[in-house]
Amino acid sequence: MFISFHNAKSIQYRRHRPTDQEFRENAARARLRFAGSAILAEVHERNMKWTWDYFSERRDDRERYVELFQKKLIAPLAANVC
């Protein structure tokens, strides 16, 4: 499935979108809250990627992937030997 850059961004910000009721009550406030929450979420995500917990999680995922990929490569060779 192809997702364009524009669609990916709209999906990313969709959860921050104000409800119709919030727009009816005060459109300016709804837009300001939307912008603020979207920016804060982006900053939070960017900051999270520079924590030691995130680095260690990525390292563990990478090591597990290498381990599984090596098993996948070796399994056909072991089946041919027997």
Do residues 58 and 77 share a domain? yes
As a whole number, the mean pLDDT across the chain is: 88
d(CA 63, CA 5): 31
- Which residue range(s) make up the domain with 8? 1-50
Q: What is the DSSP track for the chain?
A: ----HHHHHHHHHHTTPPPHHHHHH-HHHHHHHHHHHHHHHHHHHHHHTTSHHHHHHHHHHHHHHHHHHHHHHHHHHHHHH-
Summarised one tens digit per residue, pLDDT across range 11-51 is: 888 888 999 999 999 999 999 999 999 999 999 999 999 99
pTM score of the predicted model: 0.61
Do residues 35 and 23 share a domain? yes
Do residues 58 and 80 share a domain? yes
Do residues 40 and 77 share a domain? no
The count of domains in the chain is 2
